[in-house]
Amino acid sequence: LRSRGYLASFTERNFGISATLIRENPAKYWNSIAKPFRRHFSKNVLVVGSASNGKTTLVRDLGRYYSCPVSLEYARYYQQRFNVRDDELTGKDYNYLLTGQYRQTSDLIDSDTNRGLVIADTNATVTEAYYDYYIGETSSSFHSLCGDTVKNEKWDLIIFVLPTGSYVDDGFRDMTMADADIRNAFTEHLKELVVKNHPQTQLTYIGGDYAENYAKAIQLIDGIYQEY
């Protein structure tokens, strides 16, 4: 403008925030991130493992510790809602479990309750493992949907809880899993699926008592999530 004879001046404005600061510590500057972009900065932690190993309690307690939203196992809600046990679920049910779990977790990541950290109990990979165990047949539609769902998931950390303690009957669980050999075989299959489906995600196995698992989980989450 000056070259064209106009008088130009500007006032430098300092907002005290920059893209670099946000990338370095998203949680600290969470309110400065436009809502449509917050999901890209959210740290998402997945807790997996076989049933009756303390995952749900661990996820709930971690949610209280970090004051963050948690996505619990959708299958338990589904089974209680429709009064169906593990061994009564059909292939169609597993499609609902797959989409229901993803939608529930995705909605939490996008919600106003998310302040930079979301912890989830179970995902598409775990649902796939149970499908393989109970249905035991290849379904192009289910496995295709599962593959697409896994691609859409974003995890910064996966905590794999190994079987510990006795298998508890909650009225919906299939008690054949109480057999140690079956439970361990399922766990090994789930390990293979997690490694195959999430090769780029940090994966850690924990298998102590509850207090040890809780302390270790906090240590792991602190390694990827800085609140302030």
Between 126 and 171, where is the model more confident? Answer: 126
**Strand ranges inside 75-131, DSSP E:** 117-121
Q: What is the CATH number of the domain that holds 80?
A: 3.40.50.300
- Number of neighbouring beta carbons within 10 Å of residue 5: 6
Grade residue 12 by pLDDT with cuts at 50, 70 and 90: low
CA dist 190 and 194 (Å) reads: 6
- For residue 104, being part of any structural domain is answered with yes
pLDDT at 1: 56
- Write down the mean pLDDT value for the chain: 91
The domain total for the chain is: 1
Asked whether residue 66 carries a pLDDT value surpassing 90, the answer given is: yes
- For residue 59, being part of any structural domain is answered with yes
The sign of the dihedral angle between the CA atoms of 12, 15, 18, 21 is: positive
- For residue 4, being part of any structural domain is answered with no
CA dist 49 and 22 (Å) reads: 33
- For residue 3, being part of any structural domain is answered with no
Closest to 115 (Cα-Cα) out of 226, 1, 14, 190: 226
For the sheet with 117-121, list strands across it: 70-71, 117-121, 43-48, 157-161, 203-206
- For residue 100, being part of any structural domain is answered with yes
CA dist 188 and 191 (Å) reads: 5
Distances in whole angstroms, Cα of residue 217 to Cα of each of 9, 44, 159, 163, 204: 54, 13, 7, 16, 9
- For residue 30, being part of any structural domain is answered with no
Grade residue 13 by pLDDT with cuts at 50, 70 and 90: low
pLDDT at 118: 98
Domain that holds residue 109: 36-222
CA dist 220 and 216 (Å) reads: 6
- For residue 11, being part of any structural domain is answered with no
pLDDT in tens, 71-107: 999 999 999 999 999 889 999 999 999 999 999 999 9
Distances in whole angstroms, Cα of residue 129 to Cα of each of 86, 132, 188: 13, 5, 10
Across the range 185-207, mean pLDDT stands at 97
Grade residue 2 by pLDDT with cuts at 50, 70 and 90: low
- For residue 23, being part of any structural domain is answered with no
Asked whether residue 189 carries a pLDDT value surpassing 60, the answer given is: yes
Percent of all residues in the chain with a pLDDT value above 70, rounded to a whole number: 94
